[in-house]
Chains A and B, each alone.
Chain A
Amino acid sequence: MATVHGIDTGGARPALEASSVSVFYGDTEAVRGVSLVVPPHQVVALIGPSGCGKSTLLRCFNRMNDLIPDARVEGRVDFHGQDLYEESIDPVEVRRRIGMVFQKPNPFPKSIFDNVAFGPRVNGFKGDLHEVVEASLRQSALWDEVSDRLGDSAYALSGGQQQRLCIARTLAVRPEIVLMDEPASSLDPIATQRIEELIYELKERYTIVIVTHNMQQAARISDYTAFLYMGELVEYGPTQAIFTNPREERTEAYVTGRFG
């Protein structure tokens, strides 16, 4: 029932493929039968009004919904040809390959260095931690600001810096896909802009799926946009098409600001 424009993966296997994914919290169905394909090395934005299920859907992609006692997921999420929800799959392994950045920056109460090093450490990394930490901080455009104070507490950083620290922390485990749940919504406009620039740079190395309630942001940074409403995928396609030439009436109503 969703209207899906042509998605061009350039002949490569999709980074992620969701097939009829539904999520239930107790008896409430928060996500209803969503199917979409995430092309590799692209930015896919999930947009929609509050409560439409976009964060819930995002959390399906790295099995974070497992942590919620009442949540139940149906359907398939294919990653490298394997269904992430198969019995034998270990969610811990999934999360090492599909990382997540959260809405409010949530650095650990440790030093900047230990924050970034935590992921590699718990994953049994045996190499040079300093190199990994520096590389990750460079990738998240934070290195120049903190290179001389890696031992300082992460809480000494500003909000925008903390979020970039959280991004560096996620990148340090070398995921393939980075999921972002409204990463800039608690930041000021300048910090937001820096995050957006960062996302643009990151897609060279990673595939990014970002949830945002800010339509202009989706229009600015994403290659593909999926519009969700009341748990359903309404329309999905190249960002250009969704914003300038939507095929569904509801999509058009939302992107022109008539509701939500």
Chain B
Amino acid sequence: MTLPTLLRPGDGVAPAVAPVSPDPGEPPRDPLDLSRGHRRNFGERLIAAALFVCAAASTLITVGVVVVLLRETVGFFAEVPLTAFLTDTRWEPMFQEKHFGVLPLMAGSFMVAAGAAALALPVGMLSAIFLSEYAAPRLRRVLKPLLEILAGIPTVVYGYFALTFVTPAIRMVFPQTDIFNAASASIVVGIMIIPTVSSLSEDALRAVPDSLRQGAYGLGATKLEVSTRVVVPAALSGIVASFILAVSRAIGETMAVTIAAGNLPNLTLNPLESIQTMTAYIVQASLGDTPQGTLVYRTLFAVAMTLFLITLAMNVVSQWFLARFREEYR
């Protein structure tokens, strides 16, 4: 049986094509045209272009943030020297005698974050070890979502809790505590970020291959030794990433600290005093009616820029650690 000679597309002669299988409903077979169908190809390309635009738009967001912050920040530093911003120990932009030292705000943010970390990092990591190494699967299935709920509770709720429960509790022990204080905010933000540490760390611990554990057990190691000397070191990059991410969240936290910690810029190491964080200042400045173009208006952006740079740096470092971790175990 000779196959009919099939012509190249574009030849004007219609060939006689014998159907391969004479079944009903067979799609009419063109003379062999394997070239790209124009209309369909156009549709495909259009879709691909539209999808690309959506993806690329995400870069526009970053550009937008940077441009918006930069414009006003540059205007700010035209009037206030960078050295004053970074070294002055008073932040009083709205008083008669103006001071633009960002240190009190940064100190406030860092103090709250440090306190939160002091609570969340150990608790989170030990919880992660418990869930990953000790807990039975059924217990894990219950506990893990419970901890996740902590992350889902809105920050205003934490602010309320801090003001109406935690602060009175602290004042029972330390009566000299201000109503608005850093310690209360620290505790509450710490609770809020426990799941960040525990979930990410637990994922990291569970990604460590079981063969490593088996090997250690086979040498007569106890569970404590296996967990702390084999599994945790193996998962270290992932755990460190979770720490950094959690602290970054604590620094960026707004409402809970605004409600609980106060609005008094205060360069202090005493957690029982009122302070103001960078984020709380931004809220305060925008709640008041500051006219556009004034120096006070620009302080908002300068502080926001500082906040943005700090959290960005921390997130980038955290991503780097995560990438290192994934390299080892994927």
Q: Do chains A and B touch in the complex (CB under 8 A)?
A: yes
Interface residues of A (CB under 8 A from B): 10-13, 40, 79-82, 84, 88-90, 93-94, 97, 120, 123-128, 131-132, 135, 174, 176, 205-206
With contacts A11-B2, A90-B41, A174-B21 taken as known, whether A125 is within 8 angstroms of B34 at the C-beta atoms is: no
CA distance A125 to B28 in the complex (A): 9
Contact A205 B20 (CB under 8 A): yes
Interface residues of B (CB under 8 A from A): 1-3, 5-6, 8, 20-21, 23-27, 29, 32-37, 41
Contact A120 B27 (CB under 8 A): yes
CA distance A12 to B33 in the complex (A): 20
Contact B6 A205 (CB under 8 A): no
Contact A176 B34 (CB under 8 A): no
Taking the closest CB of chain B, its distance from the CB of A180, in whole angstroms, is 18
With contacts A125-B27, A132-B25 taken as known, whether A94 is within 8 angstroms of B1 at the C-beta atoms is: no
Contact A127 B33 (CB under 8 A): no
- Looking at chain B's contact residues, the main secondary structure is loop
Contact B27 A128 (CB under 8 A): no
Contact B6 A131 (CB under 8 A): no
Contact A127 B37 (CB under 8 A): no
**Using Cβ atoms and an 8 Å threshold, which residues of chain B touch A125?**
25, 27
Contact A82 B32 (CB under 8 A): yes
**Using Cβ atoms and an 8 Å threshold, which residues of chain B touch A206?**
20
Contact B26 A10 (CB under 8 A): no
Contact A40 B26 (CB under 8 A): no
Q: Which of B3, B8, B36 sits near A12, CB closer than 8 Å?
A: B3
**Using Cβ atoms and an 8 Å threshold, which residues of chain A touch B26?**
127, 174
**Using Cβ atoms and an 8 Å threshold, which residues of chain A touch B36?**
88-90, 93
B37: nearest chain-A partner, CB-CB: A90
Contact A94 B34 (CB under 8 A): yes
Q: Which 10 A-B pairs have the closest CB atoms?
A: A127-B25, A90-B36, A93-B34, A89-B34, A88-B35, A128-B25, A131-B25, A80-B32, A13-B3, A125-B27
Contact B27 A123 (CB under 8 A): yes
CA distance A40 to B25 in the complex (A): 24
Contact B6 A81 (CB under 8 A): yes
**Using Cβ atoms and an 8 Å threshold, which residues of chain B touch A12?**
1-3
